[in-house]
Structure 1
Amino acid sequence: MTNPLAPGSLSGQRVLITGSSRGIGAQTATYVAEAGASVVVNYRDKAARADKLVAGLTAGGASAVAIAADLTDPVSVQAMFDRVRSELGGLDVLVLNASGGMERDVAEDYAMRLNRDAQVNALETALPLLGPGSRIVFVTSHQAHFIDTVETMPDYEPVARSKRAGEDALRALIPTVEAAGVEFVVVSGDMIEGTITATLLERSNPGALATRKEAAGRLYDVAGFAAEVALAAVEPVPADHTRYVGDISSFTG
């Protein structure tokens, strides 16, 4: 897919994307780096994958660095943002992309710790680095955004509820964020073909993707959805702070 951002449109901008060593985060990092931003690729433990992404971006003339941080560990998160302050002097865009909860062998409360508590901590830790005119983008799914009114697959419900809790907790901070001159946007999309979440859901619910595609008419792939996330970093903030990607009629009708 063609980069939705014009070349040089993010020159001088500093962007950190959580969970960006693969998937939507990695593709978003690619788009913003190609548009001229200095990009921080955050990862938890896949250093080789993050380093490969950064090497590819820098080989193409972009500015990028990989920084490890476990978002559920406040000390690790603080160290990441301390390094950002030291090396970049601050941030212009924070993309809260990392999420999880469907992995095997994780604690029962892991989804809530990652998708709610860690998101709030990341925002609060990053806020001193974000000046007036900067932006925070939170990435979620329609299944999570509308979970209070529309049921989702049982296997995904704990994740959906934790992500909705995270969104609600972040929205409660909007007055504080806006008082600092920082903008806040939620990007909500349907199931995304090619993501680990879609793969895990399909594994536990064979035919889930086909069923959802039939209901939605179209499902975005990683590149297409990442383009919407990248645009959310630069386009005007919607009145309700929410950028809906794709058709939402089956959630609102």
Structure 2
Amino acid sequence: MGALDGIGAIVTGSSRGIGADVAQLLAAEGAAVVVNYRQKAPRANKVAAGIEAAGGRAVAVGADLTTPEGPAALVDAAVSNFGGLGLLVLNASGGMESGVGEDYALKLNRDAQVNMLKAAAEVMPAGSRVVFVTSHQAHFIDTVPTMDAYEPVARSKRAGEDALRDLIPMLENKGIRLVVVSGDMIEGTVTATLLDRAAPGAIEARRSEAGKLYSVAEFAAEIVKMVTADVPTGHTELVGGARGFVPQG
């Protein structure tokens, strides 16, 4: 018996990287997972197939969270395939991609997060949990500057976190907890690669300052720990600490 047996879950942006690892770990604990992708159907189908091959339950669902119908499609998939929704992991983010509009970061990292949570909260029972995944560079952007190439994304993700926190009273009325998980740069992610390309040496410099940068698998495991952790709503988990962002005692 897993800790999440019988719970329907949505993990946004889970066709690869951190989201894919989170989906697999949740399924290993018994959750039935909606694996979300925007364009990469083969990747998402592979993640879902791997979960099912290991004895878990999963379905891959294409949905662009920046559209009105995207969040609803994911909620509908959880309810129709698994009978309900008890966990939402808000992992999808972006804004450094080429060919996107100037407002895309805010549309995805703020507006889409709010719309996804509102859609999910309509069907989530008391005792459900929402986990928002962010970075130290975004969480602390109002007090600690970040690299120029990442600042628009960082500010949009912080705006998303603030907007989600504004919904805590509504969530409390429904018995739903919101937890924020913040990590440093994560080795091997698309964002880290793009940042290092924009500012060569950025990853090595941050690794030296932080002392350690988590891998995708390590960070995903920390996110999954917070799914069942006994913490109050609104709690922020600073994975690995936050050297360079908070004063050291």
TM-score (norm 1): 0.95
Report the Cα distance in structure 2 between the residues aligned to 1:12 and 1:222, rounded to whole angstroms.
26
Residue 87 and residue 32 in structure 1: after superposition, are their counterparts in 2 closer, same or farther (change >3 A)?
A: same
Which residues of 2 match residues 156-195 of structure 1 at below 5 A?
A: 156-195=150-189
* 1:11 Cα offset (Å): 1.2
Quote the residue 1:118 is aligned against: 112
Does 2:219 match 1:219?
no
Report the Cα distance in structure 1 between the residues aligned to 2:55 and 2:68, rounded to whole angstroms.
33
Quote the residue 2:201 is aligned against: 207
Structure 2: which amino acid aligns with 1:172? D
* Aligned with 1:34 (options 28, 33, 36): 28
Structure 2: which amino acid aligns with 1:9? A
Report the Cα distance in structure 2 between the residues aligned to 1:32 and 1:249, rounded to whole angstroms.
29
Report the Cα distance in structure 1 between the residues aligned to 2:189 and 2:138, rounded to whole angstroms.
16
Report the Cα distance in structure 1 between the residues aligned to 2:42 and 2:80, rounded to whole angstroms.
24
Quote the residue 1:148 is aligned against: 142
Partner deviation per Cα, 1:143-187 (whole Å, 9 max, x = no partner):
000000000000000000000000000000001011100011000
Quote the residue 1:84 is aligned against: 78
SS of alignment partner, residue 138 of structure 1: strand
Please say if residues 184 and 237 of structure 1, whose CA atoms lie closer than 8 Å, have aligned partners that are also in contact: no
Does 2:50 match 1:68?
no
SS of alignment partner, residue 24 of structure 1: helix
Calculate percent identity across the aligned residue pairs.
60
* 1:238 Cα offset (Å): 4.6
Q: How many residues align?
A: 247
Residue 84 and residue 220 in structure 1: after superposition, are their counterparts in 2 closer, same or farther (change >3 A)?
A: same
Residue 239 and residue 50 in structure 1: after superposition, are their counterparts in 2 closer, same or farther (change >3 A)?
A: closer
Report the Cα distance in structure 2 between the residues aligned to 1:210 and 1:149, rounded to whole angstroms.
22
Report the Cα distance in structure 1 between the residues aligned to 2:169 and 2:240, rounded to whole angstroms.
28
SS of alignment partner, residue 146 of structure 2: coil
Report the Cα distance in structure 2 between the residues aligned to 1:235 and 1:142, rounded to whole angstroms.
20
Structure 1: which amino acid aligns with 2:27? A
* 1:79 Cα offset (Å): 2.4
Structure 2: which amino acid aligns with 1:80? L
Gaps of 5+ in 1: 1-6
SS of alignment partner, residue 126 of structure 2: strand
Gaps of 5+ in 2: none
Report the Cα distance in structure 2 between the residues aligned to 1:249 and 1:35, rounded to whole angstroms.
32
Report the Cα distance in structure 1 between the residues aligned to 2:245 and 2:28, rounded to whole angstroms.
34
Quote the residue 2:229 is aligned against: 235
Deviates more, 1:134-143 or 1:232-241: 232-241
- Dislocated runs of 4+, deviation >4 Å: none
